[in-house]
Amino acid sequence: MRIIHLNEESKKDLLEKLLKRSPNHYTEYEERVASILAKVKEEKDAAVFAYTKQFDGAELSKDTILVTEEEMKEAYTLVDSSLIDVIQKALVNIRIYHEKQKQYSWFDSTPSGTILGQKVTPLSKVGVYVPGGKAAYPSSVLMNVIPAKVAGVEEIIMTTPCSQEGKVNPVTLVAAKEAGVDRIFKIGGAQAIAAMAYGTESIPKVDKIVGPGNIYVALAKKAVFGYVSIDSVAGPSEILVLADETANARYVAADLLSQAEHDEMASAILVTTSRKLAEQVSKEVDQFTDSLSRKEIIQESLERYGYILVADSMEEAIEAVNEIASEHLEIQTKDPFMVMTKVKHAGAIFIGEYSSEPLGDYFAGPNHILPTNGTAKFFSPLSVDDFIKKSSIIAYSKEALFPIHQDIITFAEAEHLTAHANSIRVRFEAEN
């Protein structure tokens, strides 16, 4: 991996390069995505079936688009029981963590006759997108569905691509069943996002769409925002390890590669105060890469977005960490908890050398759907909050309103909104 001295110029260059990975920079795909969305909006099922045939090679109809109970039962016979056991264990951890995020309605009354409050209501219908193809992502199924279940969402539907034979990956189906998905449709890509956003004869319109996907899915989610809510427009995966001279170079190298193997656009960065550690990690990365199955992907990822930044002080290193605002941040320093208190921006923070990033991906419990491309400066991980909405409650008696009614009239008239003022004034015509 390239080793660079951390200064203002190198930091600026890095940030500019990382931001180019955002889906917002892939405008050349927007026209094609817009065409797909428009066609599905107009032709509904017919367009969905045509695109599924074109992109996935599968012949679907209104009778075969929905995963059946028989297909679900078959999936359980095709998945190793030990993997099902692991899925169930992870599910428990994820549910326990997210149950601590639940919010409740509250009301506050006063003797003068006022009631103010907040009513918390779960979303009625949520759509979860799950990538398909050759890979299966049961962990993403759990991370997207369980917070919605904890929030109390009434119906959760899922869309995921199928094979040419019209089959969905059995591991995906098992994870969906265990998590509590209500209906699963065998479609993927931008056409699936359009179907959930606008509704078709077979697929209901949802209130919110969550879940990761390729550039077409990301841009489709961005385009339908407003028709429905979305979780985020996610970019490629990324990891940043903050380490000092006490870190284990072998652990750091392994953790960097755990993200570099995702795809060629993934980013793996080490920020350290130790030149010696930087050189050791670079050597370990080379040795590991030669023996890993996704060697070509890792090499391209590191060539494009892999960096080791050597800082003059821990203060400068932490400042860089906050500027980058990485999706995953590992802190492997002498006093990691103290360092953690100075970190302002990160999607998920892993503290100590035995808290490696895959722990969060699969098993610990916190959500692995995280802000990317520096958006951790203003976005949070997916949570129960993403599946609720809040309504303000206001109730005043006549006795409570009377002492302040003239104040409200004064405010409204200052904004030249005389109908607003009149709405208050008419209630006290007799008194006035």
b/e sequence 383-402, b meaning 16+ C-beta within 10 Å: bbbbbbeeeeeeeeeeebbe
pLDDT tens column, 99-134: 999 999 999 999 999 999 999 999 999 999 999 866
3-state secondary structure of 7: coil
Catalytic residue among 178, 238, 316, 328: 328
CA distances from 385 to 98, 348, 390 (A): 10, 17, 10
Residue 420 annotated as catalytic: no
pLDDT computed for residue 17 by the predictor: 82
Distance of alpha carbon 47 from alpha carbon 36, whole angstroms: 8
Distance of alpha carbon 424 from alpha carbon 432, whole angstroms: 12
Is the pLDDT higher at 237 or at 156? 156
CA distances from 128 to 49, 145, 212, 366, 397 (A): 19, 7, 9, 18, 44
Q: What does pTM read for this prediction?
A: 0.91
pLDDT computed for residue 40 by the predictor: 97
User: For residue 214, what pLDDT band results from cuts at 50, 70 and 90?
Assistant: confident
Phi-psi region at 44: left, alpha or beta (left = phi > 0; alpha = psi -120 to 50): left
Instruction: Report whether pLDDT(174) > 90.
Output: yes
Phi-psi region at 373: left, alpha or beta (left = phi > 0; alpha = psi -120 to 50): left
pLDDT computed for residue 432 by the predictor: 65
Residue 368 annotated as catalytic: no
Least confident interval from 75-89, 126-140, 379-393, 398-412: 126-140
Instruction: Report whether pLDDT(47) > 70.
Output: yes
End-to-end CA distance of the chain: 79
Q: Which two tokens stand for residue 89?
A: 């264990």
Least confident interval from 88-92, 167-171, 232-236: 232-236
Catalytic residue among 178, 238, 316, 327: 327
The sheet carrying 238-243 orders its strands as 3-5, 306-310, 267-272, 238-243, 328-332, 348-351
pLDDT computed for residue 430 by the predictor: 84
pLDDT tens column, 303-344: 998 999 999 999 999 999 999 999 999 999 999 999 999 999
